[in-house]
Amino acid sequence: MKNITLLTAAVFISLTITACGESDAPADRDRSEAPAQEQGLSEFEVEHGIGPVTERVEIGDGFDQAMVDKGRNIYEMKCEMCHNYEGRMVGPELGNVLERRSPEFVMNFILNPGGMARDHPVGQELLREYMTIMPFQNVKEDEARAIVEYLRYYAEHN
């Protein structure tokens, strides 16, 4: 049943993309990272997303302030034009995203947005809702981790 849902979603997405013609076709680099549809998703992937982050990330109790600052810089340069802290914009609000998603999920979404939109049920759902595939913003894995640290910090202090 789950497979049928996924398949239906995949067909829907591909139809959407085809119909949009010149819109955001996923880049090649996403394709190789995504597992084949028939294989289904692992438990980890369902919970934490598809992408280069394949294990739980260590998150401390406090904050690494250097990482928070680095994350804020990248967030303001590469994320903020499409996301509000509160309220939807081009994409969903992010002030409280870590209440909804795991840190690993957020990182994988940043690092593999095309693959997530294509192959992950949550990504597919978000694409249906927002009609825009999130672009890969040339963020490296340690930078994605820093963005997560900043979003944790933001949630704690706002």
Selected range binding other proteins among 35-43, 50-58, 61-69, 75-83, rule: CB under 8 A: 75-83
- 66 is a contact residue toward other proteins (CB under 8 A): no
Rounded to the nearest whole angstrom, what is the least distance from the CB of residue 135 to other proteins in the complex? 4
Distance, CA of 21 to chain centre: 23
Shorter beta-carbon distance to other proteins: residue 96 or 137: 137
Asked if 78 touches other proteins (CB under 8 A), the answer is yes
Residues ≥6 apart with Cβ < 8 Å to 63: 149, 152, 153, 156
Buried b (16+ CB within 10 A) or exposed e, 128-149: eebeebbebeebeeebbbbbbb
Q: Does 15 bind other proteins (CB under 8 A)?
A: no
Least Cα distance to 117 among 17, 44, 47 occurs for: 17
Q: Which residue has the tokens 């933001």?
A: 154
Distance CA 54, CA 139 (A): 17
Q: Which is nearer to other proteins, 44 or 85 (CB)?
A: 85
Tell me which DSSP letter residue 95 carries.
T
Contact call for residue 27 and other proteins (CB under 8 A): yes
Residue 81 in contact with other proteins, rule: CB under 8 A? yes
CB of 75 to other proteins, least distance (A): 9
Kindly list the residues in this chain that would bind other proteins in the complex (CB under 8 A).
Answer: 20, 22-24, 27, 76-78, 80-82, 89-90, 131-132, 135-139
